[in-house]
Structure 1
Amino acid sequence: MKPIMNEEQQSGPTASTKVDARSKMLTGSAWMTAGSITSRILGALYVIPWVTWFGAYSNVANALFAQGYNIYNLFLTVATAGIPSAISKLVAHYNGINQYGVSRSLYRSGMYVSTAMGVICATIMMFGASLTIMDNGDPNMIPVIRSLAWAILIIPPMAITRGFLQGYNWMAPSAISQFVEQLFRVIYMLAATYLIMKIQKGSWVHAVTQSTFAAFIGAVGAIIVLETAWLKHRNEMNSLVAQGEVNHDVATRELIFKIIYQSIPFIIIESGIIFFQLIDQYSFKRMMPLVGNFNKYQIDVLYALFAFNANKLYMIVISLASALAATVIPLLAMARAQNDQDGMRKQIQNVLLLFYFVMIPAALGLFAVAQQIYTVFYRYDRAGIVVLQFAAFIAIPMGLYTVGAAMMQGISENRRMMKYLAIGLIVKMIIQFPCIWAFQGLGPLLATGLSMSVTNYLIIHSFNMEFNLNFAKMATPTNQILAYSLVMVIITKAVMMLIGLLVSPYGRYTAFFSLIPGVIVGVAVYGYLALHFRLADNLLGGRAAGLRRRLHMA
């Protein structure tokens, strides 16, 4: 027999529930940010020895790797069919209404669908690899794409398990599995590359192929972590199922249909950045000869500078947004299931401010230390440094798209989000050639930044129309974030210039030892300003006060 709720309980979530939701968002974001950042850093650090071992072939190897991974990422999104995010959202929905048994059935049904999709997509990649080179005519892509098919085969079930655990707001297993996946991948690809390039003196194409096959090795490591987490939480999940409400009206066939129906928009929306990158991949090489006298090697090098070299570094910053996105979907879905309009508005505002708080200083900080960090990873190259500095600013609209799209999915505005993405892609295709004509190697990044800004405007305008966001309340912390970030950039840049007068800025080792104090100064300046002027209190609550006490700033 259900207890009779008083009027306050019936009216909606209590203040403590809202605080708990915010706490879950912060805790979940912390875990996902840690997992994303550490895996991204590890995924960037391997570049240092990897590029060195390729020697003169490094730029063409980078270009081949980037092209193969763009195709792989598209197939990966289709293979997982957006199901992990859909599962996360649906599990949070049914958990929010105390129907844990339905959540368990969702997981089983999702496994059937994802396994089938993995087999289909892996088969297409394996036997249809030659079709992917029709537009750029590079036969070296065929073995690369076939090597990635093995990862496509097993990643969908792994991703389903991640989504299911995230639906319970258990973010730690996902974060740890991301790191382990990257660790296994990097160890294998470095060992294989060293063996082929340095010991066997073999083919650089074969070394790239083994480096991409490492995605399969990494997925195996992630599966081990997630299986361990499943066993750890199994009794708790069984207890929740036993205590929850039973819903006999939801059949397995209905759940599979619901998963597929929910996942189709996720495929399109989560592929947003991939679509922009594919436009670059298949248009850049065609457009560059029209704007100047460039040969194939020069075009490959320019493509590698923005599509691989800079991408590896600014994606570390964007991973901050990805962490927020993974956290916010289940929380917004739960608020939607409870029809908590005020809770959804506050969640959206909190996520936007948290995004600005982390992303803006991170992107501007990357700009400030671009010369040193690029030199550490790829050797000194003035053109590459300029591309990275420019890409640091473009990372902000790309990250905002990731978070905004996730929030649109969390409140079930998938159709509207697909419309906004389509508008952004149309803008990208219209301005791509003019941008390349005017800025050459920077053109694709500029076109992406401008078109994603259009999409972001439409997303935020939609939130404002539906939830009446309190921009006046958000203005003060947003302005503080911008001001403190600019102060941080000026001071960090001054420190880097001063160090550059004392040591050579062109060597890898000197760049590395210059980078460390630059990063420390940047983090210290922004952290001090955020804590001293109470900006962090608006976003982190009591955690900020605790930090001040530990740092003797109270």
Structure 2
Amino acid sequence: MNEEETSTSRGTTAKNDSQSKMLSGSAWMTAGSIASRLLGALYIIPWVTWFGSYSNVANALFAQGYNIYNIFIIISTAGIPSAISKLVAHYNGIDQYIISQRLYRTGMYVAAVMGIVGATVMMFGAALMDNGDPNVIPVIQSLAWAILIIPGISITRGYLQGYNWMAPSAMSQFVEQLCRIIYMLAATYLIMKIGSGNWVSAVTQSTFAAFIGAVGAAAVLMFSRLRHAGEMREMARHSVKTADVSVMDMVIKIIYQSIPFVIIESGIAVYQLIDQYSFPRMMSLVGHFSRYQIQVIYALFAFNANKLYMIIISLASAMAVTVIPLLATARVQNDQAEMKKQIENVLMLFYFVMIPAALGLSAVAQQIYTVFYRYDAAGVVVLEFAAFISIPMGLYTVGAAMMQGISENRRMMKFLAIGLVIKLLIQYPCIWLLQGLGPLMATGISMMVVNYLILHSFNMEFRLRFDEMARPTNQILCFSLIMFALTKLVMVLIDHFVSPYGRYTAFFSLILGVLVGMVAYAYLALKFRLADRVIGARSEFLRRKLHIH
């Protein structure tokens, strides 16, 4: 084999390895993210039942507290996990493993300070953020405790992801959610069924459960880091020697890298915060609604639907976390072809998973809503609509991550700013036209504009092969629509024989509908070789096993 062939072979092997890493990393992060999201949705069934007639106002209160908490998580971590992941991948890509390890230690000092500052502001500034509802104050204060330790957890996750070790992050997410849910269900049952029945106290204890979950996640990550300690020491022994870098230089570098991340990663949370503070005021302008009615409508889209469509957006989040270090490594090596390939792979993987998941959720919206919250015609309509809006929201998550991975942070912040201005401009007209669906419509339109700007930017820089991507993308859309129609038909037929309003009958209908949808989409994807474009050689193995020719 001559030198050119050897070089080509190595390049092909490296590209296959990077795609394998992306698929493996996505598998771990998707599994962890979906498992934690599912747990985060399943607890709703007993939780809502125990709150009884207070369930919608409890959901609204929970959502208001968590929207503020999410912003503080992003601020207190200051985008450090993603920045650490990117920087660690950068230094590891040039064999400077000692710098990566020093970066982690420095990041932990920064995280400790940010956690203390964030928790203090939440604890003593809660009254300034209550949006006119004093019940929100104890909820915000209960969430302040989690802010103390979450920055350190996030730093450790980012550090391990920089090494492409995705399993610890996935497992810690699952344990965090499990511990949180056990505590919140136990506390809610004791208060609502055995104790005073004070629904505000029950919500407050449910949000304090975030701290309990964070302690569980910290334990998993500490164990994982100790387990990988030997590998990291071995890498450090082979590290390329470089000039000494001061701690202050590292802090400045982390903060410099983090500022764009905190702005970009807060995108969806800022959209939700806009809804939280604008929706009650705008609804009172478009009609004569009582405060209770506005809280109930707000709960339908901000909590009830959000809990369910965020399960499928978590698929996008998992892919986003995986792609940042891979793109950062290709960027530092100035491998334009690899960056282009990674972006195209991620887009196809996103379409392949997200579009059928969103359409599937819409097809079984009545059944899944009834299982989780009891039947509510208005809630079902909101969920059906939200399922479609989740596609541009998920694409924003992936697109923003890829922009960060190729160091286009400033441009991404500009795109987000444009999106937020559009959201603010069309929020009132959309609420005036659609009331409870208005905030979702405003978010969807705004996100579509941002996504267009992101994809246009990629195309200008890398000349993406949209012509080659068109056929599999059209197949995904076509197969997803077929799956949607079949699933919807099965749901309608079942509703003729059993009541669609009972939780138990809705549950069994849901199981059948999900199975029909998954089988239909998987069969079409394998039969017409769509899966080959996304998962490669594994699809041939699946065809043989399933006897699909």
SS in 2 for 1:452: helix
Deviation digits for residues 15-50 of structure 1, max 9, x if unmatched? 100100000000000000000001000000000000
Contact (CA 8 Å) 1:12, 1:340: kept in 2 or not? no
The equivalent position to 1:518 in structure 2, one of 506, 513, 516, is 513
Q: Which residue of 1 aligns with 2:62?
A: 65
1:117 aligned onto 2:114: yes
Cα deviation, residue 262, structure 1 = 0.3
Q: Which residue of 2 aligns with 1:494?
A: 489
What is the total number of aligned residue pairs between the two structures? 548
Q: Which residue of 1 aligns with 2:155?
A: 160
Cα deviation, residue 12, structure 1 = 11
Letter in 1 for 2:460: M
The equivalent position to 2:409 in structure 1, one of 406, 414, 417, is 414
Q: Distance in 1 between matches of 2:193 and 2:366?
A: 28
Q: Which residue of 2 aligns with 1:176?
A: 171
Q: Which residue of 1 aligns with 2:53?
A: 56
The equivalent position to 1:545 in structure 2, one of 535, 540, 545, is 540
Q: Distance in 2 between matches of 1:228 and 1:55?
A: 40
Cα deviation, residue 130, structure 1 = 0.7
Q: Distance in 2 between matches of 1:359 and 1:309?
A: 20
SS in 2 for 1:137: coil
Deviation digits for residues 40-93 of structure 1, max 9, x if unmatched? 000000000000100111110000000000000000100011000000011011
Q: What is the 5 A alignment of 1:323-342?
A: 323-342=318-337
The equivalent position to 1:46 in structure 2, one of 43, 48, 67, is 43
Q: Distance in 1 between matches of 2:266 and 2:545?
A: 42
Letter in 2 for 1:294: F
Q: What is the 5 A alignment of 1:145-224?
A: 145-224=140-219
Q: Which residue of 1 aligns with 2:227?
A: 232
Q: Which residue of 1 aligns with 2:386?
A: 391
Deviation digits for residues 220-276 of structure 1, max 9, x if unmatched? 111111111111110001000111212224222211111000001100000000110
Q: Distance in 2 between matches of 1:299 and 1:246?
A: 62
Q: What is the 5 A alignment of 1:131-530?
A: 131-133=128-130, 136-530=131-525
Question: What root-mean-square deviation, in Å, do the aligned CA atoms of Structure 1 and Structure 2 show?
Answer: 1.3
Letter in 2 for 1:462: S
Q: Distance in 2 between matches of 1:12 and 1:105?
A: 35
Q: Distance in 2 between matches of 1:407 and 1:277?
A: 22
Q: Distance in 1 between matches of 2:236 and 2:27?
A: 28
Letter in 1 for 2:98: G
Contact (CA 8 Å) 1:73, 1:274: kept in 2 or not? yes
Q: Distance in 2 between matches of 1:11 and 1:329?
A: 25
Q: Distance in 1 between matches of 2:255 and 2:231?
A: 28
Cα deviation, residue 11, structure 1 = 9.5
Cα deviation, residue 13, structure 1 = 6.7
Gaps of 5+ in 2: none
Q: Distance in 2 between matches of 1:185 and 1:387?
A: 27
Q: Structure 2 vs 1, CA of residues 253 and 8 (structure 1 numbering), >3 Å: closer, same or farther?
A: farther
Deviation digits for residues 421-446 of structure 1, max 9, x if unmatched? 00000000000000000000000000
Contact (CA 8 Å) 1:12, 1:338: kept in 2 or not? no
Q: Distance in 2 between matches of 1:28 and 1:8?
A: 30
Deviation digits for residues 475-534 of structure 1, max 9, x if unmatched? 000000000000000000000111111100000010001100100000000000001111
Q: Distance in 1 between matches of 2:274 and 2:247?
A: 39
Q: Distance in 2 between matches of 1:362 and 1:10?
A: 40
Q: Structure 2 vs 1, CA of residues 257 and 506 (structure 1 numbering), >3 Å: closer, same or farther?
A: same
Letter in 1 for 2:352: F
Letter in 1 for 2:461: E
Alignment TM-score, normalising by the size of structure 1: 0.98
Q: Distance in 1 between matches of 2:143 and 2:287?
A: 35
Gaps of 5+ in 1: 1-5
Q: Distance in 1 between matches of 2:121 and 2:242?
A: 38
- Identity, % of aligned positions: 72
Contact (CA 8 Å) 1:13, 1:340: kept in 2 or not? no
Q: Which runs of 4+ in 1 moved over 3 A?
A: 6-13
Q: Distance in 1 between matches of 2:4 and 2:252?
A: 37
Q: Distance in 1 between matches of 2:71 and 2:235?
A: 36
Cα deviation, residue 553, structure 1 = 1.9
Q: Which residue of 2 aligns with 1:3?
A: none
1:37 aligned onto 2:37: no
Q: Distance in 2 between matches of 1:535 and 1:112?
A: 47
The equivalent position to 2:531 in structure 1, one of 526, 533, 536, is 536
Q: Distance in 2 between matches of 1:112 and 1:269?
A: 23
Letter in 2 for 1:117: M
1:102 aligned onto 2:108: no
SS in 2 for 1:169: coil
SS in 2 for 1:14: helix
Q: Distance in 1 between matches of 2:44 and 2:116?
A: 31
Cα deviation, residue 208, structure 1 = 0.2
Cα deviation, residue 201, structure 1 = 3.1
Contact (CA 8 Å) 1:397, 1:453: kept in 2 or not? yes
Alignment TM-score, normalising by the size of structure 2: 0.98
Q: Distance in 1 between matches of 2:334 and 2:402?
A: 15
Letter in 2 for 1:409: Q
Q: Distance in 2 between matches of 1:443 and 1:128?
A: 30
